[in-house]
Chains A and B, each alone.
Chain A
């Protein structure tokens, strides 16, 4: 925990400082100026941007899981032709930098009217979140015994009941991992959001860069802290909930 917290020390120092000039090791004067700015001077902007980021990441995570679950199930359980090819295709977005994908798709998105739109940003995030989610769920379903579903059917569960009451609970740790990590991938995107969002869709990382460029370090540090909150939450959650259950084949 100490190891994880270490990089955040300077961030905390910055966020609670009023003045801190080179070459001092600690701020010359402490204060809440950054936080007052955040919550008093510009709360609307911060709130709007945070919500925007949340919506983008949440929508991306939900769609990534919704696609990853059936696709991972098919890949993990059934044998079919072209499975190897499919796995290479899925690898592509992981190998090819997302910047290139975004640049490549930008023109198409403009033609389709997706550029500078919420949907466009979500779609570009999905290009790498979906493969990630599919890979996670593929691993989960490789160690999954379909006979549980047969047993459920025989005991009187309908097809829908079997999915909701058996398949999802059985694969829940994997679903949570796929969802949380897709959320984080989307939450931390800068370049792809910037290219497709074109400055219309402003998320936290974009705001953060703007603040850094403006040179107001304490405010940028405060926003950064807000920004790493979900990551901390995810880390904490995976350690507490998933770590114990031993997620074989997911990591």
Chain B
């Protein structure tokens, strides 16, 4: 079992508060990502769970049992650091055996456990290698194996992919995904890469400026961000502000029907993702504008379109658009996401 609850956690360094009121519930067997830009306190949260950092306030519960006050070596939560941190004076096998040796387990059991974990992490045959004879990806896998072999109730992964190049990253991500699915080990996965978080997690917790901004499934965060900042973090750049009247959002650039939405007279902010705006030559359209800038990105081209006083970003497969050109755009109503209005600004 491994149900982890973080309850109003506060983390401070000296007088500086790094994480404020962080609450998160991770179900047994779940993989939850903590996503956020550099320096928001992601590593600090993992260290608090691992027992390596004393929280200034709040509770950490594992299966209902409080963890704060328990020494790190007694906690059933093991942390894998951003750097592999393999002990240079031990070989691969001895590194993986470290946690088991500290627990003074029998040699025969240690040998068996190591063999099976090395197979799971695709390290079979490398047991006798010295650490400096391993590639970066292999080192990261040894580091993961060393944590998994002690069978923790909670696995804490701190950006385990950030030191790898793109190709290896993908492989390692799939490996972690597979191992997590097979072992059903409760996992907190820290990353600053939104694509990584979306691809690997059951749920994502977005941390901005030391505060938890939104928790939900990858689809929820991507398609239904709680506020403009969350949307921005996931690459959303198009914001439409206006007043809702008679089933449509009236903005300075145009009128957009919003079926299924009610609440006349509300001032609203809505967003539409760059890839959801359709540039078309024929057929009905919602907006007209002039191409300001284009950037070819391989699979798609990013196009900045000025329409009235609003600059829209469109991601389109059409790579032939050039600056100065006039284009017509269709904004599918079902792709327009309206942010829930903040409680104090309901009626303007």
Query: Using a CB–CB distance below 8 Å, which chain A residues touch chain B?
Result: 145, 147-148, 150-158, 161, 165-166, 169-170, 172
The interface residues of chain A, by DSSP majority, are classed as helix
Asked if A156 contacts B51 (CB within 8 A), the reply is no
- The count of residues in chain B whose C-beta lies closer than 8 Å to any C-beta of chain A is 26
Asked if A155 contacts B99 (CB within 8 A), the reply is yes
Hey, which chain A residues are within 8 Å of B87, CB to CB? 148, 166, 169-170
Asked if A155 contacts B78 (CB within 8 A), the reply is yes
A165 to B73, CA, bound (A): 14
Asked if B78 contacts A169 (CB within 8 A), the reply is no
**B72 interface contact, C-beta 8 A:** yes
Asked if B85 contacts A145 (CB within 8 A), the reply is yes
Hey, which chain B residues are within 8 Å of A154, CB to CB? 50-52, 72-73, 75, 77-79, 147, 156
Nearest Cβ on chain A to B172's Cβ, whole angstroms: 19
Known contacts: A158-B73, A161-B102. The answer to whether A153 contacts B52 by CB under 8 A is: yes
Asked if B51 contacts A169 (CB within 8 A), the reply is no
Give the residue name and chain of the A residue nearest to B156 (CB): A154
Asked if B47 contacts A153 (CB within 8 A), the reply is no
Nearest Cβ on chain A to B278's Cβ, whole angstroms: 49
Hey, which chain A residues are within 8 Å of B147, CB to CB? 154-155
5 extra A-B contacts, CB within 8 A, seeds A145-B83, A156-B150: A145-B85, A153-B51, A155-B73, A158-B102, A165-B101
Asked if B85 contacts A147 (CB within 8 A), the reply is yes
**B98 interface contact, C-beta 8 A:** yes
Hey, which chain A residues are within 8 Å of B72, CB to CB? 150, 153-154
Which interface residue of B47, B89, B102, B150 has the most chain A CB atoms within 10 A?
Answer: B102
Hey, which chain A residues are within 8 Å of B273, CB to CB? none
Which interface residue of A145, A151, A153, A158 has the most chain B CB atoms within 10 A?
Answer: A151
Hey, which chain B residues are within 8 Å of A172, CB to CB? 89
Hey, which chain B residues are within 8 Å of A165, CB to CB? 98, 101-102
Instruction: Give B118-155 interface residues, CB cut-off 8 Å to A.
Output: 146-147, 150
Nearest Cβ on chain A to B272's Cβ, whole angstroms: 44
Hey, which chain A residues are within 8 Å of B99, CB to CB? 155-157
For the complex of A and B, 7 pairs with smallest distance between CB atoms: A155-B99, A153-B72, A156-B102, A154-B79, A157-B102, A169-B89, A151-B85
Nearest Cβ on chain A to B292's Cβ, whole angstroms: 47
A14 to B17, CA, bound (A): 74
Give the residue name and chain of the B residue nearest to A161 (CB): B102
Hey, which chain B residues are within 8 Å of A170, CB to CB? 87-89
Nearest Cβ on chain A to B316's Cβ, whole angstroms: 46
Asked if B78 contacts A152 (CB within 8 A), the reply is no
Hey, which chain B residues are within 8 Å of A166, CB to CB? 87
1/0 per residue, CB under 8 A from A, across B266-288: the answer is: 00000000000000000000000
Give the residue name and chain of the B residue nearest to A145 (CB): B85
A153 to B147, CA, bound (A): 12
**B112 interface contact, C-beta 8 A:** no
A145 to B73, CA, bound (A): 19
Hey, which chain A residues are within 8 Å of B101, CB to CB? 165
A153 to B98, CA, bound (A): 11
Asked if A153 contacts B73 (CB within 8 A), the reply is yes
Known contacts: A158-B73, A169-B89, A170-B89. The answer to whether A152 contacts B83 by CB under 8 A is: no
**B222 interface contact, C-beta 8 A:** no
1/0 per residue, CB under 8 A from A, across B69-107: the answer is: 001110101110101010111000000001101110000
Give the residue name and chain of the A residue nearest to B147 (CB): A155
A161 to B98, CA, bound (A): 11
Asked if A150 contacts B52 (CB within 8 A), the reply is yes
Please list 17 pairs of residues, one from A and one from B, whose beta carbons are closer than 8 Å in the complex, sorted by A's number. A147-B85, A150-B47, A150-B52, A150-B79, A151-B85, A152-B102, A153-B52, A153-B73, A154-B75, A154-B79, A155-B73, A155-B102, A156-B102, A157-B73, A157-B99, A158-B73, A158-B102
Asked if B150 contacts A155 (CB within 8 A), the reply is yes
A71 to B87, CA, bound (A): 23
Task: Specify which of A145, A155, A169 is in contact with B146 (CB 8 Å cutoff).
Answer: A155
Hey, which chain A residues are within 8 Å of B78, CB to CB? 154-156
A156 to B146, CA, bound (A): 11
Asked if B83 contacts A147 (CB within 8 A), the reply is yes
Task: Specify which of B75, B79, B88 is in contact with A151 (CB 8 Å cutoff).
Answer: B79
Nearest Cβ on chain A to B22's Cβ, whole angstroms: 20
Hey, which chain A residues are within 8 Å of B102, CB to CB? 152, 155-158, 161, 165
Hey, which chain A residues are within 8 Å of B79, CB to CB? 150-151, 154
Hey, which chain B residues are within 8 Å of A147, CB to CB? 81, 83, 85
A153 to B81, CA, bound (A): 12
A150 to B99, CA, bound (A): 13
Hey, which chain B residues are within 8 Å of A169, CB to CB? 87, 89
Which interface residue of B85, B101, B156 has the most chain A CB atoms within 10 A?
Answer: B85
Hey, which chain B residues are within 8 Å of A152, CB to CB? 98, 102
A157 to B75, CA, bound (A): 11
Nearest Cβ on chain A to B133's Cβ, whole angstroms: 15
A148 to B52, CA, bound (A): 12
Instruction: Give B160-182 interface residues, CB cut-off 8 Å to A.
Output: none
Hey, which chain A residues are within 8 Å of B88, CB to CB? 170
Asked if A155 contacts B98 (CB within 8 A), the reply is yes
A210 to B50, CA, bound (A): 64
Give the residue name and chain of the B residue nearest to A245 (CB): B88
Instruction: Give B8-60 interface residues, CB cut-off 8 Å to A.
Output: 47, 50-52
A169 to B87, CA, bound (A): 9
Hey, which chain B residues are within 8 Å of A151, CB to CB? 79, 81, 85
